[in-house]
Amino acid sequence: MTTYADAPVTNRNATGRSRGRWFAQVGWRHLVGVLAVAFSLFPILFVISAALNPLGTLSSTELLPTGASFENFTNLFQDTPFAHWFLNSLLLAGVASFASIFLSALAAYAFSRMRFTGRRVGLLALLLIQMFPQFLAIVAIFLIFTTVTDLWPAIGFNTPWGLFLLYMGAALGANTWLMKGFFDTLPKELDESATMDGASHAQVFFRIMLPLVAPILAVTGLLAFIGTINEFIIANVFLTEPNSKTLAVGMFGLVAGERNNNFGMFAAGTLLTAIPTVLVFQLLQRYIVSGLTAGAVKG
Amino acid sequence: MRIRTAGVVAVLGLALAASGCGGSDSDKPAAKESAKAAGGKLVIWADDKRTAALKPFAEEFGKENGVTVEVQAVSKDLQTNFVTASQQGSGPDVVVGAHDWIGNMVQNGAIDPVQLGAEQKSGFNETAIKAVTFNGQLYGVPYATENIALIRNTELAPEAPKTIEDLVAAGKKLKAEKKASEILCLQSGQNGDAYHVYPLYTSGGGYLFGTTANGDYDPKDLGVGKPESIAAFQKIAKLGEKGDGALKRSITGENSIATFTGKKCAFLVSGPWAIADAKKANIKYDISPVPGFAGGKEAQPFVGVQAFYVAAKGKNKALAQEFVTNYVTKPELAVALYKAEPRPPALTAAFDQVKGEDPDLAKFSEAGKNGQVLPAIPAMAAIWDPFGKAEAAIIGGADPAKTITAAGKTIAGQIK
Amino acid sequence: MSTSLSGPGSAEQAPGREPVRRGLPRTSRTARNHAPITATGLVGKVVLLGLVAGIAIWAAFPLVEAEHWIGLGILAATTAGLFYLYLSRRHIPAKYLVPGTLFLIAFQIFPVLYTASTAFTNFGDGHRGSKDDAIVAIQTSSVKQVPGSTEYSLSIATKGDPATGALVFLLSDPKTREVFAGDAGGLRKLDAGQVEASSLTGKITAAEGYTILNIGQASGRSKEITDLVVPTSGGAIRSNGLTRAYEGTAVRAYDAGCDCVKDSETGKTWTADPGVGSFVAADGDRLAQGWKVNVGFENFSRVLTDPNISRPFFGTLLWNFAFAIGSTGLTFLLGMGIALALHSPRMRGTNLYRVLLILPYAMPSFAMLLVWRDMFNTDFGLLNNLFGLDVDWFGGSWSARAAVLLVQLWLGYPYMFLVTTGALQAIPRELTEATSVDGASPWQSFRAVTLPLLLVALSPLLIASFAYNFNNVNAILFTTEGGPFPADNPTNGATDLLITYTYRLAFGAQGAEYGLATTVSIFIFAIVAVVAAISFSRTRKQEEVYS
């Protein structure tokens, strides 16, 4: 904004009319932006004030902090294995989101570019399978992983790898549709001409399609990252050892039950949890905003 | 180019993931092997708070006896997950939880009875033993009892109210003087809270289950929906939003204690877990029994018991029994658990030991003296939700007779 | 994942194993460009298949050890299948689909099918296991101490090796100081001179000819200790932990002859009823421990005939659709509006706006749902206090619905803002400028050019968002929990989605009822499938535009 400060400055002595024109062209946009930022931030301000308030509670009516102390943050690291949770979540969300977008990109490529029997049925099945409530499947998950834990404890209960495998099960359902839609918007001539030039299907996929869908890979990657960080139902039954928990499970434990003097710590944890997501977003945003529909429009 | 790198990284990531499985494998079973060699492994499941409190003692037990002890926390749906995991054979050896789970855990064959000697048994507070007795068998070893009481801010309300009417009058006066913004902090929320409103319900004459000849609760005699329950809720309705405004749906489990410690209400109905916050906020408080309606019956809070259970399908049952019947029954452990989390110990010896240094404890226990043991029969699970919602609706102004009759019907339909 | 970046050639011949092809003409250009990639592809393929083989071998050992032959067969077949697939040149689509599908089958399709099969059973609390499980549970839970019997101090001992030798209970009566040795053969008295005992508890600490196991050693043989029962005249002596033993007797016993359970104290019998999976007495009394039985279509008919389940079903379905459409549509509208507002070449500071606007999306949603729930509190909530309102947000049906949607809006619009911004960047400015030169108002040019292009680009995102919100349990469970509920029906609230309603059916009644909940899920599934199939047949047209 500072770089554009000259606009209002030059208008300082101008007539109301030109100020009006500035407003009509740019000013209202800032107004919308500021309003939107206010809407975005005020619940977060609330969390910040709870995190800084030593008697932190999520239900006080004060928007601004009544006391400022980092007690809640230090308690979080001293009294709970928060650092473990944080690392577990980062590792799990990082690996799982990467692997899951890769798996679904493969599948989306096949669904978009190839014609085979069972294609449409497969697509429909992918959409429907997500409609089945996960909390009912927990019994079956116990069934599977009891056997897995007995045979291969390294990928059983209380291991990030076991949970990672489980999340991979959901990879196709969650992202394939999204990606297929974007693969569809890429003009077919692109890969056809590459094939003419002698490129194999794998080359088409890795060298032509993937670079073009980079924005959607970034979007789904971000989605998958956030989804994994927030996943609770499965992780809650899967991870019971305090040190193996993820942020969502561990932090829920802080506020579960009747005692609510952990809310300050909970709020502090919430803020810290947002940091990796913001960083991932920063990392990916140039892909996202650099043109989601490059292919579609050019085609 | 960028993407090709990404592809390589992705493949590497997957490879790492896969080799990670292999890599961590080599040390995990080794660790397991060594645990086996040194002795058995005992796995305990508890909720988060108790996990933290238990951990040092469990480790101590492990060290003393050359066994590995793991305390694990299940943050949500501990009971359901325990039953499901047990059924499949991946449950713990010991589980810690409220005594009202017993009925459900027994009907699923998830816990075994524990055998306490007569001498051991006599060391416990009678109510606690009664609570963990189900169908004539002892199913758990209690370690703490808990019940709610009236906590009041003595600066605002020096006198303990004798009746709920006195309380409302005092609260209204404070409100009029702008010293407080609420009459009473009794949590309800939009979906009600059967546990906290129960003293008022009993004072109004209501009951949940009748009792059979041998003193057990009888699921066939459901009190919700009976005329007594309607009468009780008519009295409660008068305290509600359309009446005195002492009971409000806006007071929830999240804000009731905070509102009290924020000096916005002089009276709080809560349990021992609220005391830590009150102390932290430097509130001068006193504890007395929850008062009943003038001319009504006694206000009886629920008495809950926290207990240790031996899982029926645990891998190390003998060790679990050893831990539960011989280690948990020691007063030293009970005192230490109390220090980690101040709830009245169920062992009389431990209770007497800590009573001296903590006057609140005796007051809570006094408030729970006439309390009712929370029913442990499976049918109780059908009560909570409909009863709470009926309470919330009535506090909000719904017709008590119609609402509570419907709740009674729903509950009856869910009891097998 | 094991696709190769193979050498030159037509698509049909593409996935090659050999770096050099025979008899295929190729230009020097392709040779130069593709040769190194072929090597990469080959290496990649070898490494990945090697990894598959490695994992398979790693996984095989425990299976062999556990003599789990079916598992081993599946493992071998899967591995062989993978090798065949990636080494052959055919089945190209399968090469892309199989990696994800393997996981999908193992962790989604199998659980769903397994769960669906419980719709035909009474699976739920009290009926989880087999009949044998129930019998064991009934018998163990009826073990009572023989009145007046001795409580012994116990030491676990063996005559052989502590880890493998046959176990013996060394018992001492703390009162009389008599000592015994007991095993499955019965109880024999020991000579007091043979043993050393603790003077405090009487527990035997050493005995001639026996090795006493310490707790660590004994706990390693827990199962054997629990199973060791020393028969006596009045019942049997069982261990109680590792240091005490008691004489107990199982009051209830199963009799296979009458298929019933008998109580030896009261003489009452409960006969097995295979229809309901319980032992039932003549007077209708039922033992708590039941077992899982097939009930055929009983759950299905219950869903259709029980007015508490069927009556609110369609209302809930309607709201469910409204919620999913509302959540998706509102977030899209707001996100797009803001993106359009910020999308201007003269606009500065858009980066800062973007970072701040995205924050709601970065905060953990379960935490923010709890925060919002408290903000809607009538008396203490920020919303009412800030705006001086007195709205009972979660108390009224419509205000609760509006509140839930507002929360969804807050949580979801940053994402829509982001993707719309991305899509807008890609629309060439010349297109919109051309229309404004033609004299179209900004609104007209938006309607005619921008919006259609945006919709084409974003419709997959919108569909995905709709599908996600249709089953968004957290959005409801962490805020209204389905409420407000009508005073006369606590099972179905105004903001209940089908999934939260199913959740309550499954876990809200007397114990979990998985069978019934699964049945409701199957109904939901069927409805969604029909809707999806219809709309899916329409997308065929859209798809053909691109293909």
- Residue C44 pLDDT class (50, 70, 90 cuts): confident
List the domain range (segments joined by +) for residue C39: 11-90
A172-218 pLDDT, tens digit per residue, is 887 888 788 778 877 888 888 888 888 888 888 888 888 888 888 88
Question: Is B69 in a helix, a strand, or coil?
Answer: strand
Does residue C354 share a domain with residue C475? yes
- What gap in Å lies between CA C147 and CA B153, rounded to an integer? 52
- Final residue belonging to a domain, choices A69, A84, A104: A69
pLDDT surpasses 90 at B94: yes
Does residue C368 share a domain with residue C231? no
Among B21, B25, B190, B387, the residue to mutate for chain C (most C Cβ within 10 A) = B190
Does residue C237 share a domain with residue C295? no
Tokens of C328: 């998706």
Please state the φ and ψ torsions of residue B321, each to the nearest 5 degrees: -65, -40
pLDDT surpasses 80 at A258: no
Does residue C438 share a domain with residue C467? yes
Contacts of C197 (CB under 8 A, 6+ apart): C172, C177, C179, C203, C204, C205
Contacts of C151 (CB under 8 A, 6+ apart): B117, B118, C145, C174, C244, C245, C246
Does residue C317 share a domain with residue C298? no
- Residue A284 pLDDT class (50, 70, 90 cuts): confident
Domain ranges of chain B: 41-146+304-367, 149-300+377-414
Question: Is B56 in a helix, a strand, or coil?
Answer: helix
Quick one: average pLDDT of B187-211? 93
What share of chain B has pLDDT > 70, as a percent? Answer: 90
| B372 vs B26: which has the higher pLDDT | B372
Does residue A270 share a domain with residue A211? yes
Does residue C283 share a domain with residue C425? no
Does residue A39 share a domain with residue A151? no
Please state the φ and ψ torsions of residue A9, each to the nearest 5 degrees: -65, -50
Evaluated on CA atoms B199, B192, A233, A263, the torsion sign reads negative
Does residue C228 share a domain with residue C82? no
pLDDT of residue C543: 54
The residues in A 4-33 lying below 8 A from B, measured between CB atoms, are: none
The residues in A 111-150 lying below 8 A from B, measured between CB atoms, are: 138-139, 142-143, 145-146, 149
Please indicate, yes or no, if residue C273 is contained in any of the structural domains: yes
Does residue C168 share a domain with residue C60? no
Does residue C162 share a domain with residue C232? yes
Does residue A64 share a domain with residue A97? no
Does residue A83 share a domain with residue A62? no
State which residue of chain B sits closest to C308, comparing Cα positions: B410
Please, which chains are in contact with B (at least 3 CB pairs closer than 8 A)?
A: A, C
Task: Please report, for the domain that includes residue C217, its CATH number.
Answer: 2.40.430.10
Among C90, C112, C385, C502, the residue to mutate for chain A (most A Cβ within 10 A) = C112
Task: Please report, for the domain that includes residue A199, its CATH number.
Answer: 1.10.3720.10
Question: Is C296 in a helix, a strand, or coil?
Answer: coil
State which residue of chain A sits closest to C530, comparing Cα positions: A128
Does residue A259 share a domain with residue A115? yes
- Final residue belonging to a domain, choices A12, A38, A69: A69
Does residue C347 share a domain with residue C246? no
The residues in C 198-257 lying below 8 A from A, measured between CB atoms, are: none
Please, which chains are in contact with A (at least 3 CB pairs closer than 8 A)?
A: B, C
List the domain range (segments joined by +) for residue A18: 2-69
Report CB contact under 8 Å: A291, C502: no
Does residue A281 share a domain with residue A238? yes
Query: Is residue B44 exposed (0-12), middle (13-18) or buried (19+ Cβ within 10 Å)?
Result: buried
Amino acid identity of C407?
V
Domain count, chain A: 2
Which chain B residues contact residue A259 at CB under 8 A? 49, 273, 276
- Final residue belonging to a domain, choices A69, A93, A115: A69
Does residue A189 share a domain with residue A91? yes
pLDDT surpasses 80 at C320: yes
Please indicate, yes or no, if residue C528 is contained in any of the structural domains: no
- What gap in Å lies between CA C18 and CA C37, rounded to an integer? 12
ipTM, interface predicted TM-score of the complex: 0.83
pLDDT surpasses 60 at C544: no
A107-121 pLDDT, tens digit per residue, is 999 998 888 888 888
Does residue A194 share a domain with residue A119? yes
Report CB contact under 8 Å: A188, C427: no
Class of domain B149-300+377-414 (CATH, top level) = alpha beta
Nearest CB to C467; choose among A60, A130, A199: A130
For residue B272, whether the previous peptide bond is cis, meaning omega lies within 30 degrees of 0, is no
Please indicate, yes or no, if residue C510 is contained in any of the structural domains: no
Q: What is the CATH code for B41-146+304-367?
A: 3.40.190.10
- What gap in Å lies between CA A229 and CA B248, rounded to an integer? 36
Nearest CB to B22; choose among C55, C129, C286: C55
Most confident of B41-45, C239-243, C524-528: B41-45
| C89 vs B242: which has the higher pLDDT | B242
Q: What angle do CA C163, C167, C168 make, to 5 degrees?
A: 140
Which chain A residues contact residue C451 at CB under 8 A? none
Does residue C346 share a domain with residue C288? no
Pairing of the two strands C252-255 and C244-250: unpaired
- What gap in Å lies between CA B287 and CA B285, rounded to an integer? 7
Domain count, chain C: 4
A131-141 pLDDT, tens digit per residue, is 777 777 888 88
Does residue A181 share a domain with residue A44? no
Does residue C469 share a domain with residue C338? yes
